[in-house]
Amino acid sequence: MKKLKYLLLKSFSPKGVSTRPKNTTIPANARSFYDFKLKSIEGKEIDFSIYTGKKVLIVNTASECGYTPQYDELQHLHEAHGSKVTLLGFPANNFGGQEPGTNTEIGAFCRKNFGVTFQLFGKVDVTDNELYKWLSDENQNGWNSEAPTWNFCKYLINEKGELVKYYSSAVNPMSDEILKML
């Protein structure tokens, strides 16, 4: 019970931001962000090397969460700042069973209710997905051990493919904390 209370308090912290320390070195044998290949929500394999030289914001999403309205803000961020940052959404059913749908249902829900046009990927398990393991293992990314604690946690990758920020669910996509990094 203490662990659950800690996780809930941590995920709802007003600040909810972790930053890559200066002079962080990534292990020589570490996998690069650009090495990943994952399936889109439509089932097409996407090679992450296409994101080389771009900032990328990764978000684990859910359709039945109190944070689901963040889809609106994510879409707004995509439309207003898409030339500065690429959004990648990863539906996940890890927290509260709040993403029960199929990939087809999720895609339709996001388009109909929020006009989502940014890239969505197939539903993942954020506790057992190769990308999320990389994002939350400091031995792989060089500094961060923050795994998603709820839906709509965000990770910012810089133009070199380095993880530079972690944002909790409570951090709004159009917040100053995110916009100042673009």
User: What pTM was computed for the model?
Assistant: 0.88
Strand partners, 17: 167
Q: What is the pLDDT of residue 31?
A: 78
Give me the catalytic one of 17, 41, 58, 65: 65
Told to judge if 153 belongs to the known catalytic residues of this protein, a careful annotator would answer no
Extract the residue ranges of the chain whose pLDDT is less than 70. 1-15, 18, 20-21, 24-30
Write the DSSP string, 126-172: TTS-HHHHHHT-HHHHSS-----SSTT-EEEE-TTS-EEEEE-TTS-
The owner of tokens 């992450």 is 48
Catalogue all structural domains in the chain, each as residue range(s) with its CATH number: 31-179 (3.40.30.10)
8 A C-beta contact, residue 52 and residue 161: yes
Q: What is the pLDDT of residue 2?
A: 33
Q: What is the pLDDT of residue 16?
A: 77
Q: What is the pLDDT of residue 27?
A: 63
d(CA 131, CA 154) in angstroms, rounded, equals 13
In Å, what is the CA distance from 14 to each residue of 128, 133, 182? 27, 25, 21
Report which DSSP code applies to 67.
T
